[in-house]
Amino acid sequence: MNLIEKIIANHSKYDQVKPGDIVDIEIDARAARDFGGPNVVKTMETNNLKVDDPSKTFFTFDTNPTGSDQKYAVNQQVVRVWARKHGIKVYDIDHGIGTHTMINEGIVYPGATAVTTDSHANILGAIGAFGQGMGDQDIAAAFNRGMVWFKVPESVKLNVTGTLPAHITAKDFVLNLLNIFGANDLLGFSVELYGDVIDRFNLSDRITIASMGTEMGAIILLFTPTEEIMKYAEEKAGRKLNPICADSDAQYAQVHHIDVSNFVPMVSRPGAPHDTVEIPVGDKIKIDSAFVGSCTNGRIEDMRALANILKGRKVAPGVVLKIVPATDDVWVQCMEEGLFRIFKDAGAMVSNAGCAGCAAGQVGQNGPGEVTISTGNRNFPGKQGKGAVYLASPESVAASALAGYITDAAHIPDEPMTFVTGNAIVKNAETAQNQAIADDKPTVVQGRVWYIDEDNIDTDMIFHNRYLAITDIKDMGQYTFDNLKGYEDFSKKAKAGDIVVVAKNFGSGSSRQQAVDCFISLGIQAVIAESFGAIYERNAINAAFPIMTYPSLEGLKLETGDSIKVDFNLGMIENLTKGTTISGDPFSEVQLEIYQKGGLF
């Protein structure tokens, strides 16, 4: 077996598993954040569910560690009270990012399993552990049963060859991978990385790379732990651990050989993490702000790299540099090593540990027309505010903050670029919408089509993170697609009974359940796509919301406004307007069972 198969088999009742098997797996660490946590509590209470093992159950408050938003503050206190009642540990707003806490505290270790409401839980692949972001119902099931059902994914093997240029960081490495594979070539795969280059990556490097597996559409990027990482994990866990590695005769759906010798410093252009290009030094793209932090680049190694470039220098006039360590331990190290003095002398601002702008709950957001360069893992439209966000390494972000424009550490100018009048303003529209509710659950449905021929429609486009505090499904429908360009008025025009048909990788991004529930709120009968983001697919199935995939729409002659009929049992899609039919993928046994029950609970 390969890595993912071994980990799943070790946590199931089976000695061996293979791709496509759907098995119950025991979860070693079951967590929810301040985002998602209140809905988990609500699900537990509504269904009168008990906690399986409080010692393996946690909450992490990392999306709004300042408690500065009233709705977040209310939700955090709701969770605190419930956690006290059930003897569950809360890593509160003074602690930092939950996935890092799991590694640093030895809660998760090589070969372990963990689920949380964080869509970047697959960051745990950095230490050879299985981590998955899941929706509120899945996490409640894990709290209650200690297990979740999971479909064993196919695996891809990346053999990394060549010599990585000295100036190429782990963030540059993964941005180059995104340039090669895009957002959906690895969709739904577990990806293992091998080679001398990989063996030399330290824990911080591996975390940076693993964190962006979500942006590739992968289930997880898995690293075989080195002796150094095993020693670290054993020290944190306080016990001897068994190493985990793939068998020599393990099977892979694909094997790719990647030569890194010509990798270059890269940025992701605004709107899509996979839209990566070599840093356009000569273009001198003016920036307003810079951000260093997130689960991808908030560790002490990132802070030291930032300090090495900023020391003795000043941030360009008019540019705001925002720095947020990933955990409180990193924050303390920065203080003890004098890094904060370097940051402040350079003109930067520092906040307490947490997710920061990625979660819309802390410093790092930007406004209309603002151009930001960030070390985050996502730059979906509206994700970090209403401006434009480029993604790069801490070194490139620091260099850009000093230059006043996007550049890399090898091209910091003697004099920074300053602002001139006449800069363009980027405008984003926001629309308030109506909603309707429908509860009919037939296995054959018929309705009017919304055909949106776009790949990679992410959860911030479907249901933006500024609405995450909403927990009542009746209030969700009005915000559906209000961050998807051209469909901001979708909820005003949509009718109960409509069917949405989209392209590849629908629902990529966050683990938010609201991105499914908003369609239920509107009475949309189904969403049909060529493929779905892995977390979104689980959330929809568990909520008994019909989703179905198709291999190709060729021959269906589909247009918005057509009437179609969909058979979930047979997988048939018929265009009643045009008299055409294609075959899709019918519901699996698990999906049909959950659908017929009306939901996971």
Q: Which amino acid is at 120?
A: H
- Eight-class DSSP state of 459: H
Three-class DSSP labels, 104-130: HCCCCCCCCEEEECCCCHHHHHHHCCE
Shared domain for 239 and 301, answered yes or no, is: no
Per-position DSSP letters for 494-550, written without gaps between them:
--TT-EEE--SSBTBS---THHHHHHHHHT--EEEES-B-HHHHHHHHHTT--EEE-
Q: Is 239 helix (H, G, I), strand (E, B) or coil?
A: coil
Q: Which two tokens stand for residue 186?
A: 């690895």
Rounded Cα–Cα distance for residues 506 and 519 (Å): 13
Specify the pTM: 0.86
Rounded Cα–Cα distance for residues 476 and 394 (Å): 36
Domain annotation covers residue 422: no
Domain annotation covers residue 426: no
| Domain C-terminal end among 411, 430, 465 | 411
Shared domain for 334 and 247, answered yes or no, is: no
Shared domain for 469 and 512, answered yes or no, is: yes
Nearest to 356 by CA among 289, 309, 405, 310: 289
Q: Is 103 helix (H, G, I), strand (E, B) or coil?
A: helix
Nearest to 3 by CA among 256, 193, 286: 193
pLDDT tens-place string over residues 219-271: 999 999 999 999 999 999 999 999 999 999 999 999 999 999 999 999 999 98
184-195 b/e (C-beta count within 10 Å ≥ 16 → b): bbbbbbbbbbbb
What is the per-residue pLDDT for 421?
Answer: 64
Q: How far is CA 8 from CA 15, 99, 118, 558, in A?
A: 10, 20, 20, 40
Domain annotation covers residue 261: no
Contact status, residue 117 vs residue 141, Cβ threshold 8 Å: no
Rounded Cα–Cα distance for residues 552 and 530 (Å): 7
Domain annotation covers residue 179: no
Shared domain for 247 and 316, answered yes or no, is: no
What is the per-residue pLDDT for 359?
Answer: 67
CATH number assigned to the domain comprising residue 405: 3.30.499.10
Upper half-sphere CA count for residue 583 (Cβ side, 13 Å) = 1
What is the per-residue pLDDT for 360?
Answer: 61
Domain annotation covers residue 228: yes
Residue 256 falls in which region: left (phi positive, over 0), alpha (psi -120 to 50) or beta: beta
Number of CB atoms found within 10 A of residue 334's CB: 23
Q: Domain count for the chain, please give it.
A: 3
Rounded Cα–Cα distance for residues 313 and 485 (Å): 40
Shared domain for 380 and 486, answered yes or no, is: no
CATH number assigned to the domain comprising residue 452: 3.20.19.10
Shared domain for 99 and 225, answered yes or no, is: yes
Nearest to 281 by CA among 423, 410, 419: 410
Domain annotation covers residue 358: yes
Strands (E), 308-443: 320-323, 349-350, 371-374, 388-391
Domain annotation covers residue 187: no
pLDDT beneath 50: ranges in the chain: 423-439
Rounded Cα–Cα distance for residues 31 and 61 (Å): 10
Q: Is the dihedral of CA 497, 502, 505, 510 positive or negative?
A: negative
What is the per-residue pLDDT for 435?
Answer: 28
Q: Which two tokens stand for residue 566?
A: 């969909």
What angle do helix axes 37-46 and 136-145 make, rounded to 10 degrees? 60
Shared domain for 30 and 152, answered yes or no, is: yes
Contact status, residue 318 vs residue 418, Cβ threshold 8 Å: yes
Shared domain for 302 and 244, answered yes or no, is: no
Nearest to 130 by CA among 11, 33, 248, 13: 11
Domain annotation covers residue 553: yes
Shared domain for 367 and 489, answered yes or no, is: no
Shared domain for 55 and 201, answered yes or no, is: yes
What is the per-residue pLDDT for 436?
Answer: 28
Nearest to 171 by CA among 309, 97, 276, 255: 276
What is the per-residue pLDDT for 361?
Answer: 58
Shared domain for 400 and 451, answered yes or no, is: no
Q: Supply the range of the domain harboring residue 118.
A: 3-157+197-251
What is the per-residue pLDDT for 67?
Answer: 66
Shared domain for 234 and 126, answered yes or no, is: yes
Enumerate the β-bridge partners of residue 151. 22
